[in-house]
Amino acid sequence: MTTTQERRLEDTVLGSAAGRFYRHQNFGTGLLGGVGLGFLLWLLGEYTVNNNPNYGTDMVVTLTMLGWVIGFNLGVGTFNAVLHWILGHDQTKEDELYAAGVGQGKSRYWKYCTDHKVVGTQYLILVFVLFFIGGTLAMMIRTQLLTPNSSFLSPQTYNAIVSIHGMTMIIATIIMVSGPFANFIMPIMIGAKDMAFPRLNAMSIWVIVSAVPPLMATFFVGGVNAGWTTYAPLSVQDGPAMVCFAFTIITFVVSVTVAGINTLITVLTMRAPGMTFSRMPVFVWASVIGGALGLYAMPAFLLDMTMMVSDHATGTSFFVSAQGGSGWLWENVFWIMGHPEVYVILIPPVGALMEVFSTFSRKPMFAYKMIIGAMIGIAGLSIMVWAHHMFTTGWAPDLAGPFMLTTELISIPTGIIFLCAIGTMWRGSNWVRLPMYFGFLFIWNFIVGGVTGIYLSDVPADDYFHGNMFVTAHFHYTLLGGAMIAATAGLCYWFPKVTGRMLDEKTGRAAFWLIAIGFQVTYLAQFYEGFKGMPRRVANYDPIFAPENVVSSIGAYVLMAGWIVLLYALVSSWRSGSIAPANPWSAKSLEWQTLTPVPLENFLEDVTVVNDAYGYGERAELQVHAVFGSTSDAHHGEGH
């Protein structure tokens, strides 16, 4: 469909690129830049600070990681526009179009690209990569735990794997929806042409890509011993791997913050005429609330990790009690991030799932305003519950009551999510396609996760369950069985729009059953371990726990097999699935009303929203979500 005019445009954009370095930047030059600058700073460190007996290695690693992150982003072109402005040049129209990926075919997926759909796809690939790494590590953990007295892995390797499995999965789940779908789908949903800050958007993906290698590097410098929560002072005692780990987080927080601001401003300023707040799809609300909550939570993580690097590389003692610090400081700041973060993970997938429920039940969203209120309520309460992770630490025992209160209060808005889900399904037509399978699985898993959560919110019960496998099973039920399954429903739902192909549902259903059954077996067995009293994060255990560990490991293998089958279905459908129509689900929200593949700037005509996106079964005039083309009266009717 390339017109002559477009081709001329491409010629201008690419033609003017000849000879200029920054027209050749991609992932490869990023790697070169990162390794190059990392190596230079490593050399610098080796010859200047390495003689310090206590902090030398940690300082060198700090410098190397700094070099890697900056070098990679310089190399991939993250700072190009900024550098140009600093040097007194402006970005030309050609530069802008080049950055948007015009005329570069598939190679734009390997570049710094400001098109939000490209960024969304890049995020999707990154999420697959991270889940693949995290899943592989999980299999190693379950293999070690097959037998009570296993020496498959040394305790050091085991701890390193447990820590990196945790953090890889946390990073992956935080971005699994806010990365791919809040970037690809959300702007289309509100009728926007792109995100508010396309450059920041492109920056967010490449900064997060540069955060992954330091995480993997931990394996090569001793491994992180302290679990993903890296409680101090154990993490201060750890080797230079902890510095790499901290760099991953610091870099990651920069990315998430930038992405969160972008989502927020996009929704505030870029909505199509008529897209009032009360007409915004639930997923848009969820992305905004998740993003805003991330803006509150993530800086605490940055702060904690900065202090950690400082303790490691300069001998400050924020967390070392013998020198005036406190491990409780770490724990508090960590969980001030850590509990809102759980909802940063959970809210966007739940929003996506609500779209699925409405579309496939062929019914309007039930109690739309309540679910928005519930998500805001969850976000608000979630910043006041952090110390329920610290009931047994001995910190501020008098606050046990208040934190029990806030924690249990959060089950009221969470319950509303269930109410809205079942209200939307109630008497609906229930089109049982693959996204809906995962929707039902979410409901079951999240009930189990929620009910077990209330045991843990209760101090006397938590005094038994804290730090044992019960907690492990609980948060896997909420984050893997809840959030990640909801995200999978969203992925299957939006797959035709993102890839232009229909997902192979037969293979997808096979994967679903493996995942559903494998998951229950794995984590119900772990609940049982917890009831019996098996502690978390142990490389070996009392043989009385042996049978349920075998069951759990077998379940985990089935679960992993399920994910691999799903990955196969996704990749094979992406390659050679049948071509998807623009609106395979007959859904009403805007992303389904535009072409597939989605053109640059998303819509060929002006969009005016006239109703919300949930007019299923309504009178004909209420069923229309938006009208296209210049209808001047509508333009002036419902401005924002």
Partner 1 sequence: MRRLLGAGGAVLLGAAVIALVGVGFSAQAYSSPRGVQKATSLGTDMTCGKALPHVTLSFATYADASGTNDVGQQVHPGGNPSWPSYGPTNIFQAPAHACVTMHITQYDSGGSLNNPVFAKVQGTIGDTESVVSSGNSVSGCDGTSPLTYDGTPISAIQPCDAGHTFSLRGLPGIAPGFFVNVPLPLAGNAAGDNVGDLNSDAHQTVTFSFIAGPKGTYAWNCEYPCGLSVAGFGAVMGAYGYMSGYLHVV
Partner 2 sequence: MSSNHNHGIHHATYQSIDEEVAPGLHKQLHRQHVRGTLYVWALLTVGGILAGLYLTPILMPHMNSPEGRAAIETVKVFTVAAAPVAALVCAVAIYSLINSRHRSHLDSPPVDGPPLRGNALASGSWLVVSTLLVVFLLFWGLTEWASQQVVHADALQVNVTGQQWLWTYSYPAQTVILPGGKTLTVPKAVDATTLDLPINVPVQFNVTSKDVTHGFWPTQLGIQGDANPGVNDVLRTTPDHLGKFQVRCSQICGLYHAYMYTQASVIPDSAFTAWIAQGDAGRVLTSAKITGGVR
For the segment 561-600, give every residue that binds partner 2 (CB under 8 A): 581-583, 585-586, 592-595, 599
DSSP code for 272? P
Residues of span 412-431 touching partner 2 by CB under 8 A: 412, 415-416, 418-419, 421-423, 425-431
Nearer Cβ to partner 1 (68/368):
68
CA distance 110 to 100: 12
Nearer Cβ to partner 2 (71/338):
338
The residue within the footprint of partner 1, chosen from 15, 402, 543, 629 (CB under 8 A), is 543
* Shortest Å distance, C-beta 216 to partner 1: 5
Residue 396 contact among partner 1, partner 2, none, beta carbon within 5 to 8 Å by kind: none
- With both helix axes pointing from N to C terminus, report the angle between 327-361 and 282-314 in degrees, rounded to the nearest 10: 160
Q: According to the binding rule CB under 8 A, does residue 568 interact with partner 1?
A: no
Residue 239 contact among partner 2, partner 1, none, beta carbon within 5 to 8 Å by kind: partner 1
* Shortest Å distance, C-beta 95 to partner 2: 28
- Check the CA dihedral 6-8-11-16 and report its sign: negative
3-state SS track over 338-401: HHHHHHHHHHHHHHHHHHHHHHHHCCCCCCHHHHHHHHHHHHHHHCCCHHHHHCCCCCCHHHHH
Q: According to the binding rule CB under 8 A, does residue 216 interact with partner 2?
A: no
The per-residue b/e assignment along 314-336, b for 16 or more CB within 10 angstroms, e otherwise, is eebbbbbeeeebbbbbbbbbbbb
Binding mask 452-491 for partner 1 (x = CB under 8 A): ----------------------------------------
CA distance 171 to 610: 38
Residue 222 contact among partner 2, partner 1, none, beta carbon within 5 to 8 Å by kind: partner 1
* Shortest Å distance, C-beta 608 to partner 1: 33
The residue within the footprint of partner 2, chosen from 15, 460, 597, 637 (CB under 8 A), is 460
Binding mask 21-40 for partner 2 (x = CB under 8 A): --------------------
**Residue 608 forms beta bridges with which residues?**
627
Q: According to the binding rule CB under 8 A, does residue 457 interact with partner 2?
A: yes
Asked if 210 and 248 count as a contact pair (C-beta separation under 8 A), the reply is no
Residues of span 89-118 touching partner 1 by CB under 8 A: 106, 109-110
CA distance 141 to 525: 15
Q: Please tell me whether the peptide bond between 180 and the residue prior to it is cis, using omega within 30 degrees of 0.
A: no
Residues of span 498-537 touching partner 1 by CB under 8 A: 499-500
CA distance 153 to 157: 6
Nearer Cβ to partner 1 (322/620):
322
Binding mask 594-623 for partner 1 (x = CB under 8 A): ------------------------------
Q: According to the binding rule CB under 8 A, does residue 219 interact with partner 2?
A: no
Residue 433 contact among partner 2, partner 1, none, beta carbon within 5 to 8 Å by kind: partner 2
Size of site (CB under 8 A) for partner 2:
114
Distances (CA, A) of 534 to 166, 225, 470, 521, 547: 19, 19, 8, 17, 12
DSSP code for 223? -
Long-range (24+ apart) CB contacts under 8 A made by 392-397 are 392/462, 392/463, 392/466, 392/467, 393/328, 393/331, 395/328, 395/331, 395/332
Q: According to the binding rule CB under 8 A, does residue 223 interact with partner 1?
A: yes
* Shortest Å distance, C-beta 27 to partner 2: 32
DSSP code for 606? -
Q: According to the binding rule CB under 8 A, does residue 314 interact with partner 1?
A: no
CA distance 45 to 49: 5
**Residues composing the chain:** 640
Q: How many CB atoms lie within 10 A of CB 429?
A: 12
Residues of span 152-171 touching partner 2 by CB under 8 A: 155-156, 159, 162
Asked if 354 and 399 count as a contact pair (C-beta separation under 8 A), the reply is no
* Shortest Å distance, C-beta 407 to partner 2: 9
**Residue 628 forms beta bridges with which residues?**
607
**Residue 609 forms beta bridges with which residues?**
626
Interface stretch with partner 2, choices 172-180, 191-199, 261-269, 321-329 (CB under 8 A)? 321-329
Binding mask 156-195 for partner 1 (x = CB under 8 A): xx--xx--x-------------------------------
DSSP letters spanning 304-344: HHHHHHHHHHH---SS-GGGT--HHHHHHHHHHHHHHHHHH
CA distance 497 to 581: 9
Size of site (CB under 8 A) for partner 1:
50
Asked if 587 and 509 count as a contact pair (C-beta separation under 8 A), the reply is no
Q: According to the binding rule CB under 8 A, does residue 87 interact with partner 1?
A: no
Residues of span 500-529 touching partner 2 by CB under 8 A: 528
CA distance 358 to 356: 6
Q: According to the binding rule CB under 8 A, does residue 396 interact with partner 2?
A: no
Interface stretch with partner 1, choices 88-96, 130-138, 294-302, 422-430 (CB under 8 A)? 130-138
Interface stretch with partner 1, choices 221-229, 483-491, 520-528, 588-596 (CB under 8 A)? 221-229
**Residue 535 forms beta bridges with which residues?**
468
Nearer Cβ to partner 1 (331/462):
331
Residue 153 contact among partner 1, partner 2, none, beta carbon within 5 to 8 Å by kind: partner 1
* Shortest Å distance, C-beta 352 to partner 1: 22
Nearer Cβ to partner 2 (276/321):
321
Name the residues that contact partner 1, by CB under 8 A.
53-54, 106, 109-110, 125, 128-130, 132-133, 136-137, 140, 148-149, 151, 153-157, 160-161, 164, 216, 218-220, 222-223, 225, 233-234, 236-239, 320, 322, 499-500, 540-544, 571, 574-575
